[in-house]
Structure 1
Amino acid sequence: MPRPSHLLATDELGLTKSMPAARELFEWRTSPKPYEAPVIFLGLGPEPEKLPAWFDLPGDKVVFFLECQSFADQVENWEERVPDNFQRITTDEFTGESSANAHVVRYLPAQRGFPTYFAPLTARLTLGAAKPARLDKTVWIPVADDDLLCRELAQAFRDTGHTVVMIDHDSLGKHPGKALPDLLAQGAPDLFFSVNFKGLDPFGLGHAILREAGVKVGIWLVDNPFNLLTAVKSGYWKNAKLFVTDHSFIGPLIGEGARWATHLPLAASPALFETGGELPAHAEGIEKRLIFVGRSQFPDRDKFFAGLTVPADLEAAAGAGRPGQRFDYHWWREHMDIAPLWPGNAVRGIGAGAEWAGRRWKRECLGACGRVVIFGDDGWKDLDNPDADVRGPVDYYAHLPAVYRSAAVTLNVTGMQLPAGLTQRHFDVWCAGGFLITDANPGLNIFPDELVAPIRFSRPDGIRDLYLEFREETRAKQELREAWKTCILADHTYAARVQTVIAALDL
């Protein structure tokens, strides 16, 4: 028996997708008023002439439909094949009320092939005519068990008088059409604030449902935006409210179609970090020492960059660069012929180069430190530094504040994925009462230069001199530490960042 021939259509990401014509690929939602209710199709599929017979539709009754033009343009003789009694309507005419009072039929393959067009329509269908009641001054934050930042954000929003509801992000991301309407039935919040797209499905249905319910959505891209966007399968993000920790990505995001992006750096949480913390047993004896706290690689790094290699000529160019030159993500983007940056996974090649350079930079810095104490994983044990003392990780909330306070100097080395992105160390160390030295990074321009200049190095061989300068508790060190802490607590707390979000989204 010959295999059926299916339409091969190019979806909105430029990928070839099979679009079969079969009755079972249509989902029929019955109206509560079955007799007088109209029929509305969301997508006709590749053989619209067969629909009247498949659904037993009379030829003398008008059938309404919406269709993504990008799909229709790929169906041969599409206009001639649409039955005469089928009437096309606009997206504005398909309201929550009209969908609730109609039999609605969805052609499912097109829903994922062209989600930017269909997701808002499905959102109206899902919510129907009833608008959720408003929950006064309420914020939803999707989280996982081990997420950082969400505790800080929740505390900061609560301090502004908001009720904060922490929601399991996994159920929202996997089943937005079920999980979100169930939650919204209890009321709609003012804001849904996602960190790194948590709680939002790749096809944008969750975002569309929230917007249809009148909820403002903010997406804070804490990590490299283009690494994160490889998991997004719809152009909905271009219309989303994007916050970025690294301002140097605003231009590239707009270049790829984003309509709104603004800067929101990391910050400190005095309630969680200024006091408290207990020094763990393996951190004893660091009072006169230089310390470094950090992972040797981000979780699942090898999986994310699987199959990718750094071009040999660019690796050689970066290896031969001048001392202190930063071979960051934008350098690799300028030297690699990868465009566009979205959609697809090709952009991970740029990230692989930046990751290689960042790992090399960190190892060069830690190799030049001499007797540095490293709190991190075993990936640091093969450093080219026989005096490095790798002691294992410390708990972020339970131990790290005390570790920062106890050490003579804490070293920060930034990676190359975020060319102008700061780390939590830039804020936490000062907040906890510690003392930081850091590599030069364009993101440091959010702080006064008179505070940055004394603690900044550009080359690995500058680390030891800074450590020796600030190892002892001199009056100059104490004054600089106090000035930094005053600056952080005045302008760079999560309370200040939340106020930025509230103003930017006009809450």
Structure 2
Amino acid sequence: MTKSMPASADQFEWRPGRGSGQSPTVFLGLGPEPDKLPEWFDLPPDKPVLYLESQAFMDQIDGYAARVPAHFIHISPDEFTAPLADRARAARYLPAHRAFPSFFAPLTARLTLGGHSRTRLERTVWLPCGDADLLIAELTAAFTAKGYSVRHIDHEALGKHPGSVLPDLLREGVPDLFFSINFKGLDHYGLACALLREAGTEVGVWLVDNPFNVLPSVRSGYWRDVRLFVTDHSFIGPLIKAGARKVTHLPLAAAPALLDGTVLPDHARDLAGKLVFVGRSAFPDRDKFFAGETVGDEARALVLGDTGTRRYDYHWWRDRLGVDALWPGNAGRAVGAGAEFASRAWKFRCLEAAGRITVFGDDGWRGLANPDADLRGPLDYYAHLPAVYREAAVTLNVTGLQLPAGLNQRNFDVWCAGGYLITDTHPGLSIFPPELTDPIAYARPEEIHDLVIRHREDTRTRRDLQRAWRECILRDHTYDNRAETILKTMRL
């Protein structure tokens, strides 16, 4: 976005020098009229002034070099060392810091933390989160099992005020790893990440959801240098094309210890022999997230009229809409809106073809055109869901289309809880052996009914498959496995 850079003294934020004796004066950004700075701030011509400036900023100001006072000395970010940052009398031109955060955030981090020594916290992970966030209990237990101490950090306070919250936390000690889910705890402009890196902490981000539904909120290119993990391997290529340098596949997994000791709620005590589905009809605030986006009549008709096996997933919509650049900007929101429309149509189509099925979820399912569907309220994920999986004869999984090759928790939890899953076939299942996936996968909704009939009875074949699935997941696909992948990838 093109913006005018204001030229006035009140656009500069000053920090007094901390060193003994006379502190050097350093400008982090000079603004569009550097020739006026000596007058504004009483800077005598016989005393050198150091400055750092974004090349992208300088290139956009006509005659910039000629306007820089002769006693101003340009230095590189490498020359702005921690000892210099610690003792300098420093001024920051704030509009440029907001407009060019990739350049200025690391400098602000160095200025903020200075050259003070900090205590290293041995084998420690910080997890930014809220009170009810999913995956935090799983990751906490997994990192703890690997011998790490885990601290939960309020992600909202951290994301809104990184410049004040993080320095205080880092003074208490520096962790080995800051691990964020979907950029929680990391501000839009990259200051939090820069502060953590300046302190010597590794930063990892696990993109559990569609990366290009998450990235539009990030206003700086700092994410390209962060170690990214994705649940859906099909996004590795698009992320690299968008500039990411380090992307690792990290699917969801199971946490066996969290699946024990659960009980059936009152509205789920009659599930023996039944087919069940558990899930939301839409993710929270979906309509708000895709506000202003519409799906064209032709595309809607194509999706709703198709009775074949084509999956109208995110990548299909991107190709159809001809969207090349997914970051920066919001061009990808139209792609996501199309994928969300197709996801809803696919889920309804499967649930309507399933025949007799008990559906646990929100009121959005009340539009199902299935007279044999028994609609019930939602379930508590940790307290009730595993017990429902164990009690039901078969659990149906229908995979959303935002993640073309992404697995959901049902792919792991149902088997570990002692249940039996049937699922739609898609590329994400490739992490499992085909001898496990082939018998329980369907490509068309019309196949669901016969698949349920074939697998709901307690037969030796069913028991053997249950055992094989559970052994596979416990061996290769627990959150302990995922924590090991994270730590090895981050070289910890």
Which TM-score applies when normalising by structure 1?
0.96
TM-superposed deviation, 1:86: 0.5
Q: How is 1:278-357 mapped onto 2 (pairs within 5 angstroms)?
A: 278-321=263-306, 323-357=308-342
User: CA shift at 1:474, angstroms?
Assistant: 1.2
Contact 2:86/2:114 (<8 A) preserved: yes
Candidates 127, 131, 134, aligned match of 2:117? 131
Shift of 1:203: 0.3
Query: What amino acid maps onto 2:141 in structure 1?
Result: Q
CA shift, 1:169, in A, is 0.5
In the alignment, the residues of structure 1 paired with residue 452 and residue 392 of structure 2 have an alpha-carbon distance, to the nearest angstrom, of: 11
1:462 is aligned to 2:451: no
SS at 1:18 equivalent: coil
Asked whether the 8 Å contact 1:131–1:213 carries over to 2, the reply is: no
Q: What is the CA–CA distance in structure 1 between the aligned matches of 2:461 and 2:6, rounded to whole Å?
A: 73
- Secondary structure at the aligned position of 1:230 is classed as helix
1:114-193 equivalences under 5 Å are 114-193=100-179
The correspondence for 2:241, drawn from 251, 255, 265, is: 255
1:216 alignment partner AA = E
| AA aligned opposite 1:45 | G
1:473 correspondence with 2:458: yes
Say yes or no: does 1:359 pair with 2:344: yes
Q: Would you say 1:100 and 2:86 are equivalent positions?
A: yes
Alpha-carbon distance between aligned partners in 1 of 2:87 and 2:422, rounded to the nearest angstrom = 64
Contact kept in structure 2, 1:42 and 1:104, CA below 8 Å: yes
Alignment match, 2:425 = 440
Deviates further, 32-41 or 165-174:
32-41
Measured in 1, the distance between the counterparts of 2:184 and 2:247 equals 18
Q: Match of 1:77?
A: 63
* Residue in 2 that maps onto 1:483: 468
- Shift of residue 47, structure 1, vs aligned partner: 0.7
Select which of 398, 401, 420 maps to 2:383.
398
Give the secondary-structure state (helix, strand or coil) at the position aligned to 1:121: helix
1:373 counterpart = 2:353: no
Q: AA paired with 1:440?
A: T
Runs (4+) off by over 6 Å: none
Query: Structure 1 residue 95: deviation in Å?
Result: 1.4
TM-score (norm 2): 0.99
RMSD: 1.0
Distance in 1 separating the partners of 2:338 and 2:373 = 27
Distance 2:116 2:418 in 1: 52
Show structure 1 runs of 5+ residues with no match: 1-14
1:326-382: CA deviation from partner (whole Å, max 9, x where unpaired): 000000111112231100112100000000000000000001111110110000011
Q: Point out the more displaced range, 468-477 or 487-496.
A: 468-477
- Contact 2:85-2:114 at 8 Å conserved across structures: yes
SS of alignment partner, residue 434 of structure 1: coil
What is the CA distance between 1:387 and its match in structure 2?
1.1
Q: Tell me the alpha carbon deviations over residues 280-323 of structure 1, each in whole angstroms, 9 at most, x when there is no partner.
A: 00001111110000000001100110010012333333334451
1:34 Cα offset (Å): 7.3
For the Cα contact (< 8 Å) 1:408–1:471, is it kept in 2? yes
Aligned CA distance change for structure 1 residues 500 and 490 (closer, same or farther; 3 Å):
same
Q: How does 1:234-245 map to 2 (within 5 A)?
A: 234-245=220-231
Output the amino acid matched with 2:179.
F
1:438-479: CA deviation from partner (whole Å, max 9, x where unpaired): 001100000000000000000000111111111211111111
Q: C-alpha offsets along residues 394-443 of structure 1, whole Å, 9 cap, x if unaligned?
A: 10010011010000000000011000000000000011010000001100
Q: Which sits farther off after the overlay, 379-388 or 27-36?
A: 27-36
Count of residues in Structure 1 that have an aligned counterpart in Structure 2? 492
Name 1:383's counterpart in structure 2.
Answer: 368
| Letter matched to residue 377 of structure 2 | G
